[in-house]
Each structure stands twice: as C-alpha cells, then as structure tokens.
Amino acid sequence: MSTAQRNLILILARDFASRLATPVFLVDQDGTLVYFNEAAERVLGQAYVEGRTVAAGEWSTAFAPVGEAGDAVELQELPLGIALTDHRPAHRALRIVGADDVVREIEVTAFPLFAHADEFVGAIAIFWEQPEGA
C-alpha cells in the first residue's frame, strides 16, 4: 500500500485551518511546512502554493524572526520549533519580515499534534498580528 498520504490528523488540521480567519501554519512530523491558510498569507506576505513544501531550516529563517529585544530567534526557540522538538505548547511574541518586506509584530502560539498518545504527527502554529503601538 502506498504511504503517500498525509496522516488524517494533518488533513483535518488543514481543513480546520482553511476555514479560519486566523493565520495558521502547519508542519508535519519532520517540521516540513505543508500548509498555511489564506489569513497567514496576508501576514507572511506570500501565497500558499499547493504541493510546495518547505523544510524547517528554511521556513524558520525565511521570515527573519527576532524577539522583542531584537535578538535573532533560532528554530528551537520558536514556538513551533518547541512544539516540534519538545512536543509541548509554546507561545512567544516575535517580529518577522514578510516576503513582501513588511515588518510585522506577531504573537505565536504553537502546539504539537498527536494522532495517538505516542504518535506525533506534526504541529500547528496560530498567530496574530499585533496592531501598531500595541
């Protein structure tokens, strides 16, 4: 049998994300970006391309995330990186530079996705753009 199908939890997570007006970023168990929704497109400044996946090492630096003090934030310190490596939820304020070169202040909450208690299948990040001056 072919294994060329996403875990059902990821399919359901994508369905959920696709219906939300809140930006959502979805990665698989390897950390590969497999989907982001329309609301995320606005914040990230780029469109989702069906079938295009992005490795963790690439998406974690593509938007040049920095912390509140302006310090660069490595993958393992990003909320999504924590959800991926430690399998626990995390939250953090970040500043990113979108693909449209716009700097945005965002708050990110990420949590791991388990199909079973011992079966990690990916992680999801939900984020909000902070209004200017917030």
Partner 1 sequence: MRVRIWGCRGSIAAPGPDTVRYGGNTACVEVRLDDGSLLILDAGTGARALGHALRDALPPRIDLLLTHLHVDHLQGLGFFLPIWSPETELHIWGPSSPVNSLEDRIATYFSPPLFPVHVSQVPARTVFHDAPDRSWTIGGATIYAQPILHPGPTVGFRIEENGHSLAYVTDHEPALGVDLTTVGPEWISGYALARDADVLIHDCQYSEDEYDRHVGWGHASTAHTARFAEIANADRLLLFHHDPLHDDDELDAMCARVRELWGVGDERCAVAAEGMTFEL
Residues that bind partner 1 (CB under 8 A): 1-6, 8, 11-12, 14-16, 18-19, 50-51, 115-117, 119
Please report how close the Cβ of residue 123 comes to partner 1 at its closest, in angstroms: 17
Identify which of residues 53 and 109 has a Cβ nearer to partner 1 in the complex: 53
Identify which of residues 39 and 96 has a Cβ nearer to partner 1 in the complex: 39
CA distance 11 to 13: 5
Please report how close the Cβ of residue 108 comes to partner 1 at its closest, in angstroms: 24
Identify which of residues 47 and 103 has a Cβ nearer to partner 1 in the complex: 47
DSSP output for 40-97:
HHHHHTS---TT--B-HHHHHHHT--B-TTS-B--GGGSHHHHHHHT-S-EEEEEEEE
Please report how close the Cβ of residue 110 comes to partner 1 at its closest, in angstroms: 21
Please report how close the Cβ of residue 35 comes to partner 1 at its closest, in angstroms: 8
Radius of gyration of the chain (CA): 14
Q: What single-letter DSSP state applies at residue 132?
A: T
